[in-house]
Amino acid sequence: MESNFIDYVKLFVRSGNGGAGSSHMRREKYVPKGGPDGGDGGRGGHIILRGNEQMWTLLHLKYRKHIFAGHGASGSKSLSTGADGDDVILDVPLGTVVKMPETFEDVCEISEHGQEVILMKGGRGGLGNNNFKTSTNQAPRYAQPGEDGDEGWRILELKLLADVGLVGFPNAGKSTLLSVVSAAKPKIADYAFTTLTPNLGIVSYRDDRSFVMADIPGIIEGAHEGRGLGHRFLRHIERNAMLLFMIPADSDDINKEYNILVNELKQYNPELLDKQRILAITKSDMLDEELKKEIKQDLPNIPYLFISSVANQGINELKDLIWSKLNQ
């Protein structure tokens, strides 16, 4: 499963050259001075990205390092325009962002099904000599060459589109929750960094409604500096509408852990803090009412719930809370 989730590829793309214009002169038996009749060259093929909601990964592009579009054909006599070069259309998942490799500045983003963006424009076809005739020069014998296409490296990154992103340190119970509330089957084990790739799950809610939950791999302190697998994971959180913080009931200091997580998000991108937040205190089946009361006194000021995925405690209440927040 892990190796199939590819959220980063670097591609060399080249659009097609435009075809040359024709400098043909019309020559027919009864038209001795027929004048210029050279057609225009066809345009070079574009490299086009197209959003596809059926795709979840960039795996299909991992081994296609070089992508070239077709060249335009030259113009010919009788004002015939050359054929356009073949376009190359690359289907990509929604949430794909294209960046320049040196500066990492964003070029474009694909966020809707069927959306098409020209990543590299094909070169324009050259004009045939028919375009250059004037009252003083009625028989031009020159035409334009076609324009060269464009080429270069581009980085494609995928940011997951989910309604709820699960945020927590490794081993906070995120994968377990996702496996309980959805049909997703994330890898679960009792050691840090079990989840090395984000897992998406569709969570069924009452009356055939649903929302998408993403188990984003555990953040560790210093993730915003790229420590651990930090940056690649934090990128996915940017797209979530709501953040569900998950901290285990047996944590030494829930409030402190929460503040570390918030600080990591803030250092990476302060806008993340504008999202709605909910706190789930996981593994709560080991708590009695007295302990819960004690813990409540020192919790951050956001909506919270005590849950246990294993014992199925508080799960329906959590879904209700998420649904009401998503639809405020």
Is residue 143 over pLDDT 80? yes
Choose among 173, 153, 148, 181: nearest CA to 44: 148
Instruction: Report the pLDDT value the prediction gives residue 220, as an integer from 0 to 100.
Output: 52
Choose among 227, 168, 295, 6: nearest CA to 178: 168
pTM: 0.62
Find all residues with CB under 8 Å of 78, minimum gap 6, and list them.
26, 37, 39
At 160, the pLDDT band (50, 70, 90 cuts) reads low
Question: For the residues 290-296, what does the mean pLDDT come to?
Answer: 83
At 198, the pLDDT band (50, 70, 90 cuts) reads low
Residue 73's φ and ψ, nearest 5 degrees, are -85, 155
Is residue 192 over pLDDT 50? no
Instruction: Report the pLDDT value the prediction gives residue 308, as an integer from 0 to 100.
Output: 86
Instruction: Report the pLDDT value the prediction gives residue 18, as an integer from 0 to 100.
Output: 96
Instruction: Report the pLDDT value the prediction gives residue 22, as an integer from 0 to 100.
Output: 92
- Write down the mean pLDDT value for the chain: 82
More confident position, 9 or 48: 48
At 237, the pLDDT band (50, 70, 90 cuts) reads low
At 184, the pLDDT band (50, 70, 90 cuts) reads low
- For the chain, first and last CA: distance in Å? 35
Instruction: Report the pLDDT value the prediction gives residue 178, as an integer from 0 to 100.
Output: 79
Query: For the segment 112-141, what is each residue's pLDDT rounded down to a tens digit?
Result: 899 999 999 999 999 999 899 988 888 898
Is residue 225 over pLDDT 70? no
- Residues above pLDDT 90, as percent of the chain: 28
Show the CA angle centred on residue 1, arms to residues 272 and 3, nearest 5°.
Answer: 80
Where do the domains of the chain lie, and which CATH numbers do they carry? 1-158 (2.70.210.12), 164-326 (3.40.50.300)
